[in-house]
Amino acid sequence: MNQLCLVAIGWTLALVASPAVAETTAFTADLNGASQVPPTDSKAKGKGEFLYDDTSKKLTWTITYWGLSAKAKSAHLHGRASEGANADTMITISPLQSPIKGAAILTEEQVKALTGGDMYIDVHSAKYLDGEIRGQLKPAN
């Protein structure tokens, strides 16, 4: 009986002492005017690279864009919306100078939007106040 208790205690300690292994998932977004809803005639383009850590719930990003019709006025992550639909702002992104580097700790609703394919990024300018370019976040290949 004592040996059984010692084995059980040993296994319990081993499990408790084992560090959690964080899983990270990469996402990308290709930004363009045609993806905006409604589409814009902007020739601007952009690329977003995102890394999500499921233990800390931290999303980090680097967003590069070029060719905007004017200086960027704002940028946001929106959700929950699939391609072709609009949604409310979930995260305001700043600073706006390309390349934009940043991070945020996600709420459960934001995690669901990200991992469910229902999060997008858009960059706004003075000419396109509702967004000049947009890209849906998708798992990186």
Task: Kindly report whether the peptide bond that precedes residue 95 is cis, defined as omega within 30 degrees of 0.
Answer: yes
Q: What is the CATH number of the domain that holds 84?
A: 2.60.40
- Residue 113 sits at φ, ψ, to 5 deg, of -65, -45
Q: What's the Cα-to-Cα distance from 32 to each of 16, 65, 93, rounded to whole Å?
A: 48, 9, 18
- Would you say residue 12 lies in a domain? no
Model confidence band, residue 24 (pLDDT cutoffs 50, 70, 90): very high
pLDDT of residue 19: 56
- Would you say residue 15 lies in a domain? no
Task: Kindly report whether the peptide bond that precedes residue 19 is cis, defined as omega within 30 degrees of 0.
Answer: no
- Would you say residue 120 lies in a domain? yes
- Would you say residue 93 lies in a domain? yes
- Partners of 122 in beta bridges: 76, 134
How much is the pTM? 0.84
Total domains, the chain: 1
For 66-114, write each residue's pLDDT tens digit: 999 999 999 999 999 999 999 999 999 999 999 999 999 999 999 999 9
Model confidence band, residue 3 (pLDDT cutoffs 50, 70, 90): low
pLDDT of residue 38: 97
- Would you say residue 78 lies in a domain? yes
- Would you say residue 118 lies in a domain? yes
Is residue 1 predicted with pLDDT exceeding 80? no
- Would you say residue 14 lies in a domain? no
Domain hosting residue 41, numbered range: 21-139
Give the residue ranges of DSSP H helices in 47-107.
Answer: none
pLDDT of residue 7: 44
- Residue 57: which of 90, 27, 100, 25 has the closest Cα? 25
